[in-house]
């Protein structure tokens, strides 16, 4: 299985190189930094969502759920809308991108933790109840967001709209650095938890029996998930269509492929595998979109299309436990 | 020694256990029996810290449950819970290896591998080691879970209805292995059993629960009587003695 990881790493390097080098004409001094920033952003988002989804699926013991199903993307749009609503679009555009990013990251991580904290208490360790409540709360957040959007005037609404789609075209260097730190911390935490997460696959009781009571591990994993998803979403916008569509399927595709490529319960293999696949899909996808199809279709649309198919496949074919 | 003092427990407002005092000596097999809903599994899961203790105190080998670190307790006490749902697709060898987790915390060494080999050999799982848990029979699966608890190499072993859904061959086989762990390795085994005849046939001591209280305890020959069946289980059945052990004629 390590050989498969090496193959994936090579594939990732290849698509990254192709992304940088294909069609590299014109003012190289201008194009190169632009492409590198974009490449780094794609990479960060791919890795963050992949790792977060693996963690999420492990703690829920379910392979067809993703963090965005729990209303995470909705939280992002909610924070944006709330900001535009209170500051007005003028005040909003006066915020520097760095401040906006910091606000987003803190608000999302904090709200995410509060959300899960309350949910955990309500569900009392019952993960099914947690997930169902989470879906309902996700809907609630979306509804409140929509309500707020109806209250603001059309111009301000447009500001929100343009910000709530995933975008890899304009990315600020400072944002990139900050989210890189957040993603590195998040993946580091996930890697640190890898052996403990393995034990969780045995179920709540067996894990407790082995000296690994799930409650504290769940909290740590949720913190990591909040951090990773918040960083990725504030950097590039939610990957699902504007946060109002069904769950973002990107994480789902990544973990489904990861389980196919490396069928194992060991997170020491699963985490790097998913991270690599996340990078490959986003970078390779963007490569095809930008260079071969001349940006005819946004990447998210394609991801949703493939993701929807994978979702149906998982649901009908395997009903992965 | 497992010592239980003043243990009470309620789930959702309805009391399950009432002020239980119980001491289980070192070694041998103790079976917890009683009618459905008597609180057997709750008692076992409280000893195994699968549920939080609400009132009372439990010590296992001198370590107080709830105060000892999870890691230390996992080296003293192994538990096989009633629900053995595994979300990942694991092979038999993977599962048994997990038993060593409290000792190596994710980095197995040569000693851990030795223990796993021993467990696989002893529980006759060598031929199945690469098979996945969803590909083997219920009996083999239960055996694999007990092997995992065995590999954990703890002086105390708690088993919650391991005979569920097993046919007579698999059930007798498993009870033989459990008996063997107590006799050969000197482990202290506490087992929740549904079928009184398996309890009288294999256990050294019985603890009979009724409505969250201890109705009787002692050697099978002393306590399994027609009166006990009538009072505790609410059924009038004949008890016959065979080779010094009482059996209920069903």
Interchain contact B87–A (C-beta under 8 A): yes
What's residue A118's pLDDT? 75
Question: From the centroid of its chain, how far is CA A308?
Answer: 16
Mean pLDDT of B38-44: 93
A93: pLDDT strictly greater than 80: no
Q: Is the pLDDT of residue B210 over 70?
A: yes
Residues of chain A with C-beta less than 8 angstroms from the C-beta of B107: 195
CB-based contact B86 A202, cutoff 8 Å: yes
Buried b (16+ CB within 10 A) or exposed e, B193-223: beebbbbbbbbbbbbbbbebebbbbeebeeb
How does residue A240 score in pLDDT terms, banded at 50, 70 and 90? very low
- Which of A61, A199, A263 is opposite residue B98, by nearest beta carbon? A199
CB spacing of A211 vs B84 below 8 angstroms? no
Q: Which domain holds residue A112?
A: 2-318
Which of B51, B70, B88 to mutate to test binding with chain A, by most A CBs within 10 Å of its CB?
B88
- Position A21 scores a pLDDT of 87
The distance from CA A238 to its chain's CA centroid, rounded to whole angstroms, is 8
Which pLDDT score, from 0 to 100, does residue A191 have? 96
CA dist A251 and B45 (Å) reads 36
A108-117, A205-214, B2-11, B51-60: lowest mean pLDDT where? A108-117
Contact between chains at B101 and A199 (C-beta distance less than 8 A): yes
Predicted confidence band at B144 (pLDDT cuts at 50, 70, 90)? very high
Q: What is the mean pLDDT of residues B49-64?
A: 93
Q: What is the mean pLDDT of residues A120-145?
A: 74
Radius of gyration of chain B measured on its C-alpha atoms: 18
Asked if the C-beta of B83 comes within 8 angstroms of chain A's C-beta atoms, the answer is yes
Q: Are A197 and B38 in contact (CB under 8 A)?
A: no
Among A67-81, A140-154, B63-77, B102-116, the least confident range = A67-81
Residue B43, SS3 per DSSP: helix
Which of B47, B67, B83, B87 is the best substitution to test chain A (most A C-beta atoms within 10 A)? Answer: B87
Top pLDDT among A110 and B58 is at B58
C-alpha distances out from residue B39 to A172, B57, B212, Å: 62, 17, 5
H-type alpha helices, B80-155: 92-98, 101-104, 110-122, 138-151
Give B74's contacts in chain A (Cβ within 8 Å).
209-212
Is pLDDT above 60 for A166? no
Q: Are strands B156-160 and B77-80 parallel, antiparallel or unpaired?
A: parallel
Asked if pLDDT for residue A252 goes beyond 60, the answer is: yes
DSSP string for A218-272:
HHHHHHHHHHHHHHHHHHH--SSSTTTSS---HHHHHHHHHHHHS--S-HHHHHH
Confidence of residue A169 (pLDDT cuts 50, 70, 90): low
Tens-digit pLDDT profile for residues B65-78: 989 999 999 999 99
Chain B residues 93-132 within an 8 A CB cutoff of chain A: 94-95, 98-99, 101-102, 105-107
Average pLDDT score over chain A: 81
B105/A213 touch (CB, cutoff 8 Å), yes or no: no
Contact A61 B87 (CB under 8 A): yes
* Interchain contact, A209 vs B74, CB within 8 Å: yes
Residue A137 contacts residue A71 (beta carbons within 8 Å): yes
pLDDT band at A165 (very low <50, low <70, confident <90, very high): low
Residue of B nearest to A125 (CA): B51
Q: In the structure encoding, which two tokens stand for residue B85, read together?
A: 């749902």
**Looking at residue B183, what is its pLDDT?**
94
Distance CA B207, CA B28 (A): 13
Residue B190 phi/psi, 5° resolution?
-120, 125
* Distance (Å, whole) CA B87 – CA A268: 17
What is the token pair recorded at A66?
Answer: 């993703």
B156-160 vs B188-192, strand pairing mode:
parallel
> What is the total count of domains within chain A?
1
Of A1, A4, A8, A49, the residue nearest A277 (C-alpha): A8
Reported ipTM: 0.87
Residue A128 has pLDDT above 70, yes or no: no
**CATH assignment at residue A174:** 1.10.3470.10
Q: If you average pLDDT over residues B123-133, what whole number do you get? A: 93
- Greater confidence (A238 vs B88) lies with B88
Token pair, residue A271, equals 């985490």
pLDDT at B65: 92
pLDDT of res. A127: 60
By C-alpha distance, which of B50, B41, B61 is closest to B159? B41
Residue A25 CB: number of other CB atoms within 10 A? 6
Domains of chain B plus CATH, in order, are: 1-76+156-168+184-250 (3.40.50.300), 84-153 (no CATH)
Interacting residues of A299 by C-beta distance below 8 A, sequence separation 6+:
A166, A168, A282, A285, A286, A289
For tokens 């006759």, name the residue: B124
Q: Which two tokens stand for residue B163?
A: 């005979």
Mean pLDDT comparison of A60-74, A138-152, A232-246, highest-scoring range: A138-152
- Nearest CB among A61, A205, A213 relative to B70 is that of A213
β-pair partners for A128: none
Task: Choose the weakest-confidence range: A6-10, A295-299, B44-48.
Answer: A295-299
How many CB pairs below 8 Å do chains A and B form together?
A: 79
Chain A residues whose C-beta sits inside 8 Å of any chain B C-beta: 61-62, 194-196, 198-199, 201-203, 205-206, 208-213, 263, 265, 321
Distance CA B220, CA B207 (A): 9
Mean pLDDT taken over chain B: 92
- pLDDT (0 to 100) of residue A320: 44
Q: How far apart are CA B94 and CA B80, in angstroms?
A: 16
**What's the pLDDT tens digit per position in A189-208?**
999 999 999 998 888 889 99
The band of A244, judged by pLDDT with boundaries at 50, 70 and 90, is very low
Rg (Cα) of chain A, in Å, rounded?
A: 19
**What are the angstrom distances between the C-alpha of A78 and each of A71, A125, A140, A143?**
10, 27, 11, 10
Q: Does residue B209 register a pLDDT over 90? A: yes
Tell me the range of A123-127, A171-175, A216-220, B48-52 where mean pLDDT is highest.
B48-52
Structure-model confidence comparison of residues A232 and A314, the more confident one: A232
């Amino acid at each position: 299985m390590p050989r498969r990881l090496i193959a994936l790493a090579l594939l990732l390097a290849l698509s990254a190189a192709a992304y940088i080098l294909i069609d590299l004409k014109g003012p190289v001094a201008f194009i190169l930094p632009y492409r590198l920033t974009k490449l780094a952003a794609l990479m960060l988002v791919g890795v963050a969502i992949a790792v977060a989804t693996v963690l999420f699926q492990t703690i829920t013991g379910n392979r067809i759920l993703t963090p965005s199903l729990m209303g995470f993307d909705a939280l992002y749009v909610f924070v944006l809308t709330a900001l535009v609503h209170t500051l007005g679009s003028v005040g909003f555009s006066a915020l520097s991108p760095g401040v906006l990013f910091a606000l987003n990251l803190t608000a999302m991580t904090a709200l995410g933790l509060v959300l899960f904290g309350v949910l955990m208490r309500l569900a009392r360790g019952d993960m099914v109840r947690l997930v169902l409540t989470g879906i309902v709360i996700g809907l609630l957040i979306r509804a409140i967001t929509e309500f707020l959007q109806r209250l603001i005037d059309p111009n301000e609404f447009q500001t929100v709209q343009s910000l709530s789609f995933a975008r890899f075209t304009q990315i600020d260097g400072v944002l990139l650095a900050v989210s890189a730190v957040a993603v590195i911390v998040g993946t580091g935490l996930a890697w640190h938890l890898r052996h403990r997460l393995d034990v969780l696959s045995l179920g709540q009781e067996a894990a407790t029996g082995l000296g690994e009571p799930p409650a504290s591990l769940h909290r740590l994993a949720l913190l990591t998930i909040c951090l990773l998803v918040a960083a990725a979403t504030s950097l590039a916008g939610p990957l699902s269509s504007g946060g109002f569509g069904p769950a973002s399927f990107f994480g789902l595709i990544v973990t489904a492929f990861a389980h196919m490529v490396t069928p194992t319960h060991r997170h020491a293999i699963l985490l790097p595998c998913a991270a690599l696949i996340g990078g490959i899909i986003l970078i390779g996808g963007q490569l095809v979109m930008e260079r071969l199809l001349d940006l005819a279709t946004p990447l998210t649309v394609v991801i949703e299309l493939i993701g929807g198919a994978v979702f149906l496949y998982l649901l009908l074919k395997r009903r992965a436990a | 020694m497992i010592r239980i003092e003043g243990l009470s427990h309620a789930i959702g407002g309805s009391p399950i256990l009432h002020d239980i005092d119980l001491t289980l000596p070192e070694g041998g097999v103790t079976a917890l029996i009683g009618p459905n809903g008597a609180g057997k599994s709750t008692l076992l899961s409280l000893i195994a810290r699968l549920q939080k203790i609400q009132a009372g105190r439990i010590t296992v080998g001198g370590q107080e449950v709830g105060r000892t670190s999870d890691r230390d307790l996992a080296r003293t006490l192994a538990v096989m819970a009633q629900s053995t749902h595994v979300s990942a697709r694991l092979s038999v060898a993977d599962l048994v290896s997990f038993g060593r987790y409290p000792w190596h915390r994710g980095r197995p060494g040569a000693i851990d591998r030795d223990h796993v080999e021993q467990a696989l050999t002893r529980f006759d799982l060598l031929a199945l080691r690469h098979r996945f848990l969803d590909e083997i029979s219920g009996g083999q699966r239960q055996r694999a879970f007990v092997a995992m608890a065995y590999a954990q190499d703890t002086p105390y072993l708690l088993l919650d209805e391991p005979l569920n859904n097993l046919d007579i061959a698999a059930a007798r086989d498993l009870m033989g292995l459990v008996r063997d762990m107590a006799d050969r390795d000197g482990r202290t085994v506490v087992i929740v059993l549904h079928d009184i005849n398996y309890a009288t046939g294999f256990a050294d001591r019985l603890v009979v629960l009724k409505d969250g209280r201890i109705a009787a305890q002692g050697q099978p020959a002393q306590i399994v009587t027609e009166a006990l069946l009538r009072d505790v289980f609410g059924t009038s059945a004949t008890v016959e003695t065979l080779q010094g052990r009482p059996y209920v004629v069903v």
